[in-house]
Amino acid sequence: MRHENSVMHDLLKRIPWARFDALVEKHEADRSIRTLTTKSQFVALLQAQLSGASSLREIVATMASHEARLYHIGATAPKRSTLADANAKRSAELFAELFDAVLAQAHRGLRKATKDAVRLVDATRIPLNALSTSWAQYDTRSNGVKLSIVYDPNASTPVRFAINLARTNDMVPAKEFSIEPGVTYVFDMGYYSFIWWGDLDAKGCRFVTRLKSNTPTRVVEERPVTEDGAIRIDRVVMLPKRLPHTHTHRLGEKPVREVHVIIDSGKTLRLVTNDLISPAEEIADLYKTRWQIELFFRWIKQTLKIRKFLGTSENAVRVQIAVALIAYLLLRMAHSAQSSVQSLLTFTRLVRANLMHFRSIHDLERPQPPPNPSNPNQMRFALC
């Protein structure tokens, strides 16, 4: 009879544990809190993301009930106070670096063959409760952080992330993200910086974004468009050499492309790109892919635990978001490894229902067979 690991064990096999141990050593993570190892903390937080646990008490109770199975994955059930202490004090940077290590493993199996690499850039606000006011106050009535993401629509995974206060301008993390040469970047008007656009252009990147209605351009060339098509204007233009209150930029002496497209709602979008060659329809389609990152944000907010936090400190919030993104990568890898469940959401729900059961991820939809006792008489009542 074939032995099956638990679903949780199967997911954890996708963690590069050698790299994990190196990160623990690098950050001296096991020295500060000796009563709970970094691995046990990580397993507890990951279990919370995958099972839907929404409180420290629920995590502790669930893990205690499965303590025998935790032994096989090298973890122990934590105490509530110790887990809270670890979340508040153990470096969130360790878990951010672990995300990078898991991502490197995930990309090898998730990326599809494609002509051009595309990156979508966007951010979303995540509200926090009043207990986080001391560090996360956004305005007089609300607290929150902002999760900025660089997203690969080809692999359906985030490739970079940053967590800042909700009031932080979107351009702050964008300038800190490393630019991948030759990649196409698509983003909205939250990233309205001619200087940054010029940096992308200097690295050989193509960018597609929107122009503000009040940004003037000087027309260099008008290109023909079909009368009944979605593309209303296609022209080569020069951007202003500088925006108000900004410095001059590299695109000031270089022509760019302005494309006006009518979308399904009837609204006209004014797009700009440094691609002077591709068809205008391709530029419009590229901008349309930006909605994939909006769907990603909606998915993680509705499916993972980043709406209710286990701690109120900045470090605890950062740790929980990083582990949530790692959980997403593990689910994507596991979903890609099987073929019976097509929907990632359905697969995630099946993982949640079977997390600590001894089952293969390849047949989560199949009902488990009833137990087969070695002695049939054990199933009979003694009536006489």
Predicted local distance difference test score (pLDDT) of residue 372: 64
The residue-averaged pLDDT of 356-364 equals 89
Predicted local distance difference test score (pLDDT) of residue 363: 85
How many C-beta atoms lie closer than 10 Å to residue 323's C-beta? 26
Q: Does the residue 163 lie in any domain? A: no
Dihedral (CA of 21, 25, 26, 29) sign? positive
User: Would you say 362 and 132 are in contact if contact means Cβ atoms under 8 Å apart?
Assistant: no
Residues 276 and 334 in one domain: no
Residues contacting residue 62 through CB under 8 Å, at least 6 positions apart: 47, 51, 53
User: Would you say 200 and 193 are in contact if contact means Cβ atoms under 8 Å apart?
Assistant: no
- The segment with the largest mean pLDDT, out of 28-42, 121-135, 275-289, is 275-289
pLDDT: is 370 or 165 the higher one?
165
Predicted local distance difference test score (pLDDT) of residue 315: 97
- Alpha carbons 231 and 280: distance in angstroms, whole number: 7
Average per-residue pLDDT in the chain? Answer: 91
Residues 265 and 316 in one domain: no
Tell me which of 259, 280, 301 is where a domain ends: 280
Q: Does the residue 180 lie in any domain? A: no
> Taking the model in full, what pTM does it have?
0.91
Predicted local distance difference test score (pLDDT) of residue 375: 59
Residues 324 and 265 in one domain: no
Strand residues in 91-142 grouped as ranges (E): 118-128
Q: Does the residue 358 lie in any domain? A: yes
Residues 317 and 269 in one domain: no
pLDDT tens readout for residues 311-351 = 999 999 999 999 999 999 999 999 999 999 999 999 999 99
pLDDT: is 186 or 111 the higher one?
186
Range from 9-13, 37-41, 374-378 carrying the lowest mean pLDDT: 374-378
Range from 32-41, 183-192, 215-224, 371-380 carrying the lowest mean pLDDT: 371-380
At residue 130 the predicted structure's pLDDT band, cuts being 50, 70 and 90, is confident
Q: Does the residue 47 lie in any domain? A: yes
Q: Does the residue 120 lie in any domain? A: no
Structural domain total, the chain: 2
pLDDT at 110 over 60: yes
Dihedral (CA of 202, 208, 214, 220) sign? positive
Residues 261 and 315 in one domain: no
pLDDT at 244 over 70: no
Q: Does the residue 238 lie in any domain? A: yes
At residue 384 the predicted structure's pLDDT band, cuts being 50, 70 and 90, is very low
pLDDT at 54 over 60: yes
Residues for the chain: how many in total? 384
Residues 28 and 89 in one domain: yes
Range from 14-23, 74-83, 117-126 carrying the lowest mean pLDDT: 74-83
Q: Does the residue 148 lie in any domain? A: no
Residues 275 and 235 in one domain: yes
Predicted local distance difference test score (pLDDT) of residue 34: 82
Predicted local distance difference test score (pLDDT) of residue 280: 97
Predicted local distance difference test score (pLDDT) of residue 216: 92
Dihedral (CA of 209, 213, 218, 224) sign? positive
Residues 317 and 236 in one domain: no
Burial 186-225 (b: 16+ CB within 10 A, else e): bbbeebbbbbbbbbbbeeebbbbbbbeeeeebeeeeeeeb
Q: Does the residue 108 lie in any domain? A: no
Residues 218 and 259 in one domain: yes
Q: State the virtual CA torsion across 152, 138, 188, 110 in degrees, nearest 10.
A: 10
Range of the domain at 72: 7-95+310-363
Six token digits for residue 321: 């978001």
Six token digits for residue 213: 């209605």
- Alpha carbons 301 and 324: distance in angstroms, whole number: 10
pLDDT: is 245 or 193 the higher one?
193
The residue-averaged pLDDT of 73-101 equals 94
